[in-house]
Amino acid sequence: MATSGANTPRQVTQVREQLHETFDGVIEDSDIAHFRGGNYEQRFLSRALAALAVRRVGKCSVTEAARFVTDGIADQGLDAIAPLPESGQVLFVQAKWSDKGTATFDVDAAKAMVDGLNRIENELYDQFNQRAAALALEARPLLIDERAILVIALMGTAEPSPPAREVLDNALREFNGHGARLSVEVLFAADFHEQIHADLRPDPICLEVRLDDWYQEKGPLEAYQGTVTAESVAEWYEKYGTGLFEQNLRAPLGTTVTNAEIGQTLTADPTRFWYLNNGITMICDSLTARRESARAPRNRPTTLAVTGASIVNGAQTVRAVARAMHDDGEAAANATLSIKVITTHEDREFGAQVSQAANRQNAIEQRDRIALEPVHQAIKANLRAELRKQYVIKRGEPVAAPETGCSLDELALALACLYPDAEQAARAASSTENLWEQGSTGSHTLLFKREPSPQKVWRSVLTLRAARSAVYELHSGQNSREAATAEHGGFLITHLLFQYLDATSIDDPDFDWDIEVLEKIPAFVPDLVRRLTHLIVTRPGPRPQIRTAFQSAETCRELAKHVLGDLADGVAAPAPPEKKRKPRRPNTVPLLIDRRVIKDGAPLRYVALNEPEREAMEEWLVEDERRRQATWVNHRTKPILWAYDEQQYSPSGLVAKMWADAEWDDRPVANQGTARWFPSDGRSLWDLAQHIHSEENEEGEDES
């Protein structure tokens, strides 16, 4: 596949990526398969663009659109012929692809297109290639008796030239002499860009909501409140999954103690569930009520046909209901819950207001509130369209596998490190909650003031990951001060990597980021750690703790200036100090419990430590994603609540059970479970404990 150059418009890059994703293996290409590289690419893209034009104008499926492509030898100027008898029309398409987004339609192209139309009118089918001839035969009755559209598909922005327009106008006068049968439609790059994004958006969710004990709210917006069965709610979740929560501030947060208790109530005492649960709130674009009685409608159920449904409060309840129905459907089916359905008439701003208001009784974080902001929706759409990567915005959504995408949290940290002022790295080191601050000087405003390009998003995240990996490999083998720098200074280290390794080229698709940046990081990080440690411990005056040094904007700016200056001047890094023997450390879990490092209900994810473990476990894990998911409970012996069976385990005990359940014959006798369970910030339970140890070691050195 051709790559994007620095001068290639983003619109073109995204359309090309989606043409390949949509039509690779679908469009007939046997006659051009012998071409290589760009010669094949240009021919394929011309065909795929013609198919996308048919899809846009004719409102047909991908498979149907691909069937209508005729592009090739003897297509007689018609790259696609699309007979659509159900809609009473036929489309004749000529497509012009341009890698630079500068395709034009000249007089020769217009003459070729009209000449092909005349050949069909005169039944000269033998002058077309085999595919085109068969489609032309289907198309002629629609051309004669119905409507025909000449579709000009341009990967460009310029209108057809005046001479080309004259040729088309003459054809319109000739064909429309006895009635308006023929028209012309021109599609430009912006139309195709809009189409590929529309294709990537999920279809609106349509539900039938059967309400008992209902009433209609009297007000400016149509709204209903009533009772719905747990069985119905579970069916919605089974069919649409987390798509039900598209406009919610959060997706379901996974297995928590509270959710487990909801499930227990549903199965053990379902008739009391309505009394013990707050119910759910649903917004929708439109609804139609179908009542079962005209004389006494309130005495009978009513069914709402809902379009564009989204549950904005009660995501945790919906997931728990679905889980309970799966585990014990016979008992849970007796449960009912309350529901409120509000029509927004596609007013997304009002929908966001409802979502925020409905969640005020819960612990809503600032990070949840910014999840619905347009900039994050744009990042999600463009990252998916251009690089085929996922962007997980909401808390509770399944975290993308590292190679397939990233999360909002990860991107915010990466952009904080990329930001030219080291203050943002200091804010992140103080607390990641600082990254959601809004206002003229707030981190979220500064980092997301302009939508970052997909290249910047993905490359910044890869750099953050590479830096974290290098720091992780380093800090366990260092003396306590350098270990503390590696532990607490990771964000400033990443900031320095961006500044020194040419972050100015991050948007340039021709810049080899892997070679010029990512591959240099492992060797460069130890040098940065040594320089930073030396600068901190040799500062004149009272020496700050290493941890607090990296939380100070002023100190981080000073450190960054010195390190980058020394690197530019070729100043060698100081020699490493002598490594000291470390005392025995307390166990990981009790330490984390004592310090309350992790909140109750925080999600955890199992990650294999090595290749043999990955090979043994992955197939078993993929069978049910709940097997690699858990949540943290501040319990000294069994702090992990496994999503798969909703039981509590010790980290090592659960890993041992998982290995046994997966029938890994060569599994080790013992395991370090705390190194395999990761909270959402990307550090394992063991890493978090080392963080505490490094602080204690540093404090001990200060006292000595």
* Position 295 pLDDT exceeds 80: no
Distance of alpha carbon 559 from alpha carbon 567, whole angstroms: 12
For 434-471, the pLDDT digits (tens) are 999 888 899 999 999 999 999 999 999 999 999 988 88
Query: Cα 419 to the chain's mean position, in Å?
Result: 22
Do β-strands 603-606 and 629-632 pair in parallel, antiparallel, or remain unpaired?
Answer: antiparallel
Instruction: Flag whether 80 is in a domain.
Output: yes
* Position 70 pLDDT exceeds 60: yes
Provide the 10 A C-beta neighbour count for residue 84: 22
Looking at the fold, whether 195 and 218 belong to one and the same domain comes out as no
Banded pLDDT at 59 (limits 50, 70, 90): very high
- Please report the pLDDT score of residue 585 as a whole number: 58
Looking at the fold, whether 105 and 177 belong to one and the same domain comes out as yes
**Of residues 177 and 519, which shows the higher confidence score?**
519
Q: From residue 603, give the alpha-carbon distance in Å to each of 165, 401, 681.
A: 61, 15, 10
Looking at the fold, whether 159 and 74 belong to one and the same domain comes out as yes
Mean pLDDT of 521-543: 87
* Position 704 pLDDT exceeds 50: no
For 221, the domain range is 203-364
Q: From residue 186, give the alpha-carbon distance in Å to each of 115, 158, 192, 397, 627.
A: 18, 10, 11, 40, 52
Instruction: Flag whether 210 is in a domain.
Output: yes
Instruction: Flag whether 583 is in a domain.
Output: no
Looking at the fold, whether 444 and 501 belong to one and the same domain comes out as yes
**Of residues 264 and 616, which shows the higher confidence score?**
616
**Of residues 541 and 72, which shows the higher confidence score?**
72
Instruction: Flag whether 378 is in a domain.
Output: no
Instruction: State what percent of residues in the chain have pLDDT above 90.
Output: 50
- Please report the pLDDT score of residue 299 as a whole number: 75
Instruction: Flag whether 686 is in a domain.
Output: yes
Looking at the fold, whether 207 and 190 belong to one and the same domain comes out as no
Tokens of 568: 């530019």
Looking at the fold, whether 278 and 163 belong to one and the same domain comes out as no
Instruction: Flag whether 536 is in a domain.
Output: yes
Which residue, 569, 602, 635, sits at the end of a domain?
569
Distance of alpha carbon 627 from alpha carbon 642, whole angstroms: 7
Q: From residue 123, give the alpha-carbon distance in Å to each of 90, 111, 134, 144.
A: 16, 18, 11, 11
Looking at the fold, whether 354 and 399 belong to one and the same domain comes out as no
Highest mean pLDDT out of 9-13, 186-190, 275-279, 625-629: 186-190
Instruction: State what percent of residues in the chain have pLDDT above 70.
Output: 90
Name the burial class of residue 46, with classes exposed (0-12), middle (13-18) and buried (19+) by CB atoms within 10 angstroms of its CB.
buried
Dump the DSSP string for 466-496: HHHHHHHHHHTTS-HHHHHHHHH-HHHHHHH
Looking at the fold, whether 52 and 29 belong to one and the same domain comes out as yes
Provide the 10 A C-beta neighbour count for residue 479: 16
Looking at the fold, whether 60 and 129 belong to one and the same domain comes out as yes
Residues comprising the chain, all counted: 704
For 576-603, the pLDDT digits (tens) are 666 555 555 568 888 888 888 888 888 8
Mean pLDDT of 553-568: 93
Looking at the fold, whether 357 and 275 belong to one and the same domain comes out as yes
Whose tokens are 């595919």? That residue is 131
Looking at the fold, whether 519 and 395 belong to one and the same domain comes out as yes
Distance of alpha carbon 186 from alpha carbon 286, whole angstroms: 33
Looking at the fold, whether 403 and 494 belong to one and the same domain comes out as yes
Tokens of 354: 């409802």
End-to-end Cα spacing for the chain: 62
Distance of alpha carbon 591 from alpha carbon 649, whole angstroms: 17
Number of structural domains found in the chain: 4
Mean pLDDT of 642-662: 92
Which residue, 166, 182, 199, sits at the end of a domain?
199
For 356-380, the pLDDT digits (tens) are 666 654 455 677 777 778 899 899 9
Instruction: Return the closest-CA partner of residue 600 out of 629, 639, 628.
Output: 639
* Position 253 pLDDT exceeds 60: no
Instruction: Flag whether 385 is in a domain.
Output: no
Instruction: Flag whether 579 is in a domain.
Output: no
Which residues share a beta bridge with 183? 149
Mean pLDDT of 159-183: 91
3-state helix/strand/coil string of 429-445: HHCHHHHHCCCCCCHHH
